[in-house]
């Protein structure tokens, strides 16, 4: 059996992107990697239930409980090394990671962002705010981007992008849903496979 990259998914909320990854592994889209661990900074995240239902090991590392960014990141590093993780996927993870953390894992952390970077990205652009900004600005096309993570929010090298047209009737909520269905849930598994394949080759 060929070695597979061990993947940890970092989550904070409902875990819809995590579900897309779970489904993609089941259907064989992700074949060079295996979802080995789901880590949340929020013990009430529904994503943890999704992971448990899929038989994936879970861990909670809370900044509030640990008291500082440094202690929080040390907690993350120790759970990653215990589980011999090769690749980290940020899937709706609502914590900024410092340079201290990201430089330990060069080209080993990927994130999905709900716009076509470099538009509507960086500090303060997350969740519905991204879609509100796209609609306010009047752009006709938005989408999603999967990129490597470095110390700059949304600043790492782009791996994949997919465009989604904005409809005149869109609200931030309807646009968020369509960007997830038409772009995020397709791109993230494909990027996970591409990076995993690189790691194990």
With beta carbons less than 8 A apart as the criterion, state whether 142 and 179 touch.
yes
Round to whole Å and give the CA distance between 195 and 186.
15
Q: Is 131 a catalytic residue?
A: no
Q: Is the pLDDT of residue 79 over 70?
A: yes
Domain that residue 114 falls in: 5-200
Location of structure tokens 């995993």: 196
- pLDDT more than 90, % of the chain: 94
Average pLDDT, the chain: 96
Residue 97 is predicted with a pLDDT of 93
Domain count, the chain: 1
pTM of the model: 0.95
Query: Would you say residue 27 has pLDDT above 60?
Result: yes
| Percentage, residues of the chain above pLDDT 70 | 100
pLDDT at 1 over 80: no
Predicted local distance difference test score (pLDDT) of residue 85: 98
Predicted confidence (pLDDT) per residue in 59-77, tens digit: 999 999 999 999 999 999 9
Mean pLDDT of 115-133: 94
Cis peptide before 164 (omega within 30 of 0): no
Return the closest-CA partner of residue 170 out of 141, 127, 199, 200.
141
**Choosing from 4, 113, 131, 147, which is the catalytic residue?**
113
What Rg do the C-alpha atoms of the chain give, in angstroms?
A: 16
Averaged over 132-138, what is the pLDDT?
97
Residue with tokens 């009430």: 44
Give the per-residue pLDDT at 2.
80
CA angle 115, 127, 132 (to 5 degrees): 70
- CATH, residue 19: 3.40.50.170
pLDDT at 14 over 70: yes
Report, as an integer, the average pLDDT of 17-31: 98
Cα 5 to Cα 119: distance, rounded to the nearest angstrom: 31
CB contact at 8 A, 39 and 76: yes
Q: What is the chain written as a DSSP string?
A: ----EEEEEEESS--HHHHHHHHHHHTTS--SEEEEEEEES-TT-HHHHHHHHTT-EEEE--HHHH-SHHHHHHHHHHHHHHTT--EEEESS---PPPHHHHTTSTT-EEEEESS-TTSS-STT--THHHHHHHHHHT-SEEEEEEEE--SSTT-SPEEEEEEEEPPTT--HHHHHHHHIIIIIHHHHHHHHHHHHHHHH-
């Amino acid at each position: 059996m060929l070695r597979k990259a061990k993947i940890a998914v970092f989550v904070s909320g409902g875990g819809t992107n995590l579900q897309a990854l779970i489904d993609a592994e089941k259907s064989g889209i992700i074949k060079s990697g295996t979802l080995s661990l789901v880590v949340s900074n929020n013990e009430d995240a529904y994503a943890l239930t999704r992971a448990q239902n899929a038989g994936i090991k879970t861990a909670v590392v809370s900044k509030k409980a640990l008291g500082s960014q440094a202690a929080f990141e040390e907690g993350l590093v120790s759970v990653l090394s215990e589980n011999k993780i090769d690749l980290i996927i940020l899937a709706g993870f609502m914590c900024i990671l410092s340079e201290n953390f990201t430089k330990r894992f060069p080209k080993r952390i990927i994130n999905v962002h709900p716009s076509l970077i470099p538009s509507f990205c960086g500090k303060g652009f997350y969740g519905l705010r991204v879609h509100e900004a796209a609609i306010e600005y009047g752009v006709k096309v938005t989408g999603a981007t999967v990129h490597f993570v470095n110390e700059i929010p949304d600043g790492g090298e782009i791996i994949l992008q997919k465009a989604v047209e904005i409809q005149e009737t869109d609200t931030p909520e309807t646009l968020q849903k369509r960007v997830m269905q038409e772009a995020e849930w397709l791109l993230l598994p494909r990027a996970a496979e591409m990076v995993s394949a690189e790691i194990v080759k």
